[in-house]
Amino acid sequence: MSPTTTTTQRTIFTRILLTLATTAPTIGHLPTNTASERTTAWMDGGLAGCYDPFMATILGIETSCDETAAAVVVDGVRVLSNVVASQIDLHAKYGGVVPEIASRAHIERMDGVIAEALERADCASDDIDAIAVTCKPGLVGSLLIGVTAAKTLAWAWGKPLVGVDHVRAHVVSPAIGLDESPWPCVGLVVSGGHTSLYRVSDLDTIELLGQTTDDAAGEAFDKVATILDLPYPGGPHIDRLAKVGDASRVRFPRTMLGKESLDFSFSGIKTAVLYHVHGSGKTSGGLEKLSEQEVADVAASFQAAVVDVLVKKTMRALDATGLESVAVSGGVAANSGLRAGMDAACAERGVRFFAAELAYCGDNGAMIAALGDHEFARGRVADLALDASPR
């Protein structure tokens, strides 16, 4: 995106959001003081009888890639609303996300998504204690739309602003709706852009243990779906086919790297599928020769191999850390084979297993609000100079 385009979008979008910011209906109120009064008291240190920072109501905004999302969450775990506007229909014909199209769609949908999140939560601006927004990592053009929206509302409503790391928010997502915390645990974040293992001692202490050295697992799913001529995004379609396929028909490679390595590599299995379908060294001409069942068998065998690697690496991380809990999140965490495989492996070891609810696996505003609540309670707020960063 050119600097001129970015400036134009931010100017136009600020005007759009100002309309929302100044006309938000008063449709519901919390039973105590207004959030503005509670926030002022918290910032002044006057907590008694006015504001408990651990019971804040947070508006979360997410636009790191191709989902325009907003949510209202109380206390970091109770979701009052979670609205996601998907752009799959816009990107499907390209077989992947087109950044310029994504950012333009965010502009068109952002104010409506935020308004709907507030309406579903029965909240008005006075009920919101702080606004949390994804500021990194992601597509910078997309991030700028969400950040600009959040900054505009924070200024117009007089609310604290909290910048949130998208990947750390995925780490938090398995805890949404739970009465007990999964921490400390080994956290696996697995999506189209990330495949990483973390030692999560608590939400302030998240240590990277290993990550992909090439393709993310979700990216491999999409590329294999393209090889099999399945619609975008490929993950759900491969998962569906895997349920009627025979995972033992093809033995695809499991790249484990070193004996103690916690890193991942999925580029090899993508190539293995390509050559299995079309023939060694070929990139076309073989798919037409496969029956529907054979395509399902390839999908099942591929999925089994990826799941096998993800599960075994996570078990390695348990051995390396001595932890007794696993939490899985990210878009690929919705895969039924991964959920079943990880659940079985954890049960065999007698360790606790947590997976993000399906609604919170993909990109969403609830996870941004959840982590935003944690940051806000600790006074980690941003000013209006907050900017987007691709990393």
DSSP readout, 82-116? EEEEE-HHHHGGGTS--HHHHHHHHHHHHHHHHHH
Among the ranges given (19-23, 141-145, 148-152), the one the predictor scored with the smallest mean pLDDT: 19-23
In this prediction, residue 90 has a pLDDT band, given cuts at 50, 70 and 90, of: confident
Inter-residue contact 119 to 77 (CB < 8 Å) = no
Count of Cβ atoms closer than 10 Å to residue 237 Cβ: 17
**pLDDT tens sequence across 352-387:** 999 999 999 999 999 999 999 999 999 999 999 999
Inter-residue contact 44 to 137 (CB < 8 Å) = no
If you average pLDDT over residues 16-29, what whole number do you get?
Answer: 52
- The CA-to-CA distance between both ends of the chain, in Å, stands at 16
pLDDT at position 94 is: 84
If you average pLDDT over residues 337-353, what whole number do you get?
Answer: 98
pLDDT at position 198 is: 98
pLDDT at position 7 is: 61
Distance CA 150, CA 130 (A): 10
Count of Cβ atoms closer than 10 Å to residue 285 Cβ: 10
3-state secondary structure (DSSP) of residue 292: helix
Distance CA 231, CA 278 (A): 19
Inter-residue contact 300 to 187 (CB < 8 Å) = no
- Per DSSP (E only), the strands in the chain are 57-62, 67-74, 78-86, 130-136, 161-165, 185-190, 195-202, 205-211, 325-329, 352-355
For residues 6 and 290, the model is more confident at 290
Q: Which CATH number fits domain 3-175+364-377: 3.60.150.10, 3.20.20.140, 3.40.50.10420, 3.30.420.40?
A: 3.30.420.40
pLDDT at position 116 is: 97
If you average pLDDT over residues 182-204, what whole number do you get?
Answer: 96
Of 266, 268, 290, 265, nearest to 279 by C-alpha is 290
Give how far Cα 25 sits from Cα of 22, 33, 367, Å. 9, 18, 25
Domain 185-356: which topology?
Answer: Nucleotidyltransferase; domain 5 (3.30.420)
Q: What's the one-letter identity of residue 123?
A: C
Q: Do the domains at 3-175+364-377 and 185-356 have one common CATH topology? A: yes
Mean pLDDT, the chain, rounded, equals 89
In this prediction, residue 29 has a pLDDT band, given cuts at 50, 70 and 90, of: very low
pLDDT at position 131 is: 98
CA angle 93, 105, 121 (to 5 degrees): 120
pLDDT at position 32 is: 37
Structure tokens given for 129: 């204690």
If you average pLDDT over residues 202-222, what whole number do you get?
Answer: 96
For residue 41, is pLDDT > 70?
no
For residue 48, is pLDDT > 70?
no
Q: Where are the domains of the chain?
A: 3-175+364-377, 185-356
If you average pLDDT over residues 279-291, what whole number do you get?
Answer: 94
In this prediction, residue 20 has a pLDDT band, given cuts at 50, 70 and 90, of: low
